[in-house]
Amino acid sequence: MRVYQDTWTEFLKIVKEEAGSRVVETWFKAVSFTRWDYQEKIAYLQAPNAFVQDWIHSNYIPLIEQHLKRLLSAPTVKIVFINDSNPPADTTQTVSVVMAQPATMPVKTAQAYVANQHALHKKKITGYRTYVFDTFVVGSNNALAYAAAKAVADKPGTIYNPLFIYGNSGLGKTHLLHAIGNEIKIHHKKAVILYQTADRFVNEFINAIRFDKVHQFQIKYKSVDVLLIDDIQFISNKDQTQEAFFHIFNALYDAHKQIVFSSDIFPDDMTGIADRLKYRLSSGLVVDMHMPPLETKIAILKKKAELHEEVLADDIAHFIASCSVANIRELEGFLIRVLAFASLTHQPLTLELAQKVLMRAKDVQKPGVSFEHIVKCIGKYYAYDLNQLRSKDRSKKLTFARQVAMFLMKKITDKPLRDIGVFLGGRDHSTVMHALDKVSQHAQNNDEFQNQLRKIEEDILS
């Protein structure tokens, strides 16, 4: 049992860096890792109630699987939740969220392989049942993206192909991708629909090379009817993966199969992406999503509350919507925190309770500092603009300015390392961690730089 606790503690540290302390405090601190079945590769988790379990099911299973695989040194991990009435031996609540199985799996024929993927996708649909068009709140900030996604779902492969949706993290891009897949599945029962994150695509391609399964890998992706790739910016600086994806894209496009991408970055601003691939990413319709106005935030909160069978009063919705947040995901986190507190303490859902919960967490009206503002202030001390900081230029002076930007972004905003890396050209969290260590060490050894760092920070916060 102690081994599981240590593993879970290490997992919480990783998630805190990648997803933020709010996610850990709100969700994962209440979950325990109870048992690891080595033979079946099943990790048994226990949540305090069905509310927390359902939320983690819908939002964080891929994150848990990704890191537990590494921490447990396992090729794959299934996540099963248990409770007092559902012991491990009888549990059937296994979540099959890895829609794209590794290319190393045994395959007798291409037809059998594609059929298996089709079956896996049908299982996956239930895991994202709330990610449909009816649960997506449309506002001025996302109306074009919604309309384009709906058009693609109505006529896959014939209009807006490819569709590229971009915008900051946490604004609903993943929701739209799944809504497209779910809608097409309703009207095209036999369609093979594959949702995949770019980092999973990269890892799967690496495994295909490692086990000499590249041919099967290509068959799998070229045989789908709809390909949905989330966070496509993460194939940056991966030349072999880009080459493989380039040919997959061409095959699907020539066969009039629907392709949809999401990204935090506009295609032309991506660094480490071959020009010919950039051209293909932006060759169809490119739409963006922004932070919604107050009225849309209120509508989103009310819709989310309905999904949890709660009625959110206007004053509570207005109060939560007025909180300073960077994206919709954080706004939903505030709502869920309030709903969970009311449920766990058996108190009525009131404005006073919401104020108590969020004020205690020091979340309400917290001054927000944008990444753009930080870069602008840094530009007064280092002669580089945002485009240069996002570029793949690794000259010594520019690299150091980029590292200073990462350091101050983390210190002032406490945003996840992933968000910082994505903003600065799609870099991964390990690059950001290295930057934090580098700048911190330099500040300790150089008083002049330490003073300069303090002045930049004061300028940012003034």
Q: Residue 411 sits in a domain of what CATH number?
A: 1.10.1750.10
Residue 406 placed within a domain: yes
Across the range 332-338, mean pLDDT stands at: 88
Q: What's the pLDDT band for 383 if we cut at 50, 70, 90?
A: confident
Is the pLDDT confidence value at 461 over 90?
no
Instruction: State residue 83's pLDDT score.
Output: 65
Instruction: State residue 37's pLDDT score.
Output: 86
Residue 103 placed within a domain: no
Task: Name which residue leads in pLDDT, 422 or 360.
Answer: 422
Token pair, residue 194, equals 């594959």
Across the range 392-421, mean pLDDT stands at: 88
Residue 101 placed within a domain: no
What is the rounded distance in angstroms from the CA atom of residue 125 to the CA atom of residue 117? 12
Task: Give me the count of residues in the chain.
Answer: 462
Task: Name which residue leads in pLDDT, 155 or 109.
Answer: 155
Instruction: Give the residue from 60, 89, 118 where a domain finishes.
Output: 89
Query: Residue 194: which CATH number?
Result: 3.40.50.300
Instruction: Tell me which H or E stretch contains 45.
Output: strand 42-46
Token pair, residue 230, equals 């989330």
Same domain (yes/no): 129, 239 = yes
Q: What's the pLDDT band for 1 if we cut at 50, 70, 90?
A: low
Across the range 44-52, mean pLDDT stands at: 81
Across the range 399-421, mean pLDDT stands at: 88
Residues spanned by the domain of 45: 2-89
Instruction: Give the residue from 227, 257, 289 where a domain finishes.
Output: 289
Task: List % helix, strand, coil for the chain (3-state, nearest 5).
Answer: 60, 10, 30
Same domain (yes/no): 135, 79 = no
Asked whether the beta carbons of 25 and 339 are under 8 A apart, the reply is: no
Same domain (yes/no): 196, 274 = yes
Same domain (yes/no): 39, 121 = no
CB-hemisphere CA count at 13 Å for 142? 29
Instruction: State residue 219's pLDDT score.
Output: 92
What is the rounded distance in angstroms from the CA atom of residue 8 to the CA atom of residue 43? 11
Count of domains in the chain? 4
Same domain (yes/no): 70, 115 = no
Is the pLDDT confidence value at 367 over 70?
no
**Is the dihedral angle over the CA atoms 67, 71, 74, 80 positive or is it negative?**
negative
Q: Are strands 193-197 and 42-46 parallel, antiparallel or unpaired?
A: unpaired
Same domain (yes/no): 172, 225 = yes
Is the pLDDT confidence value at 362 over 80?
no
Most confident range, picked from 74-88, 124-138, 311-325, 355-369: 311-325
Same domain (yes/no): 84, 116 = no
Query: Residue 29: which CATH number?
Result: 3.30.300.180
Residue 96 placed within a domain: no
How far, CA to CA in Å, does 419 sit from each of 265, 331, 426, 429? 11, 16, 9, 8
Token pair, residue 188, equals 């095209």
What is the rounded distance in angstroms from the CA atom of residue 323 to the CA atom of residue 175? 23
Instruction: Give the residue from 28, 59, 89 where a domain finishes.
Output: 89
Q: Are strands 42-46 and 258-263 parallel, antiparallel or unpaired?
A: unpaired
Tally of CB atoms within 10 A around 126: 10
In percent, the amount of the chain with pLDDT more than 70 equals 87
Same domain (yes/no): 347, 405 = no
Indicate the range of 115-129, 164-178, 324-338, 404-418 predicted with least confidence. Answer: 115-129
Residue 61 placed within a domain: yes
Asked whether the beta carbons of 277 and 242 are under 8 A apart, the reply is: yes
Same domain (yes/no): 349, 377 = no
What is the rounded distance in angstroms from the CA atom of residue 331 to the CA atom of residue 217? 39
Instruction: State residue 280's pLDDT score.
Output: 92
Q: What's the pLDDT band for 145 if we cut at 50, 70, 90?
A: very high
Overall pTM surpassing 0.75 (yes/no): no
Residue 297 placed within a domain: no
Instruction: Tell me which H or E stretch contains 221.
Output: helix 214-222
Residue 37 placed within a domain: yes
Same domain (yes/no): 118, 250 = yes
Is the pLDDT confidence value at 118 over 50?
no
Q: What's the pLDDT band for 394 if we cut at 50, 70, 90?
A: confident
Token pair, residue 317, equals 């919705």
Q: What's the pLDDT band for 313 if we cut at 50, 70, 90?
A: very high
Mean pLDDT, all residues of the chain: 82
Look at residues 184, 174, 80 and name the one whose alpha carbon lies nearest to residue 122. 184
Same domain (yes/no): 262, 339 = no
Is the pLDDT confidence value at 184 over 90?
yes
Residue 28 placed within a domain: yes
Same domain (yes/no): 232, 315 = no
Provide the β-strand partners of residue 83: 86
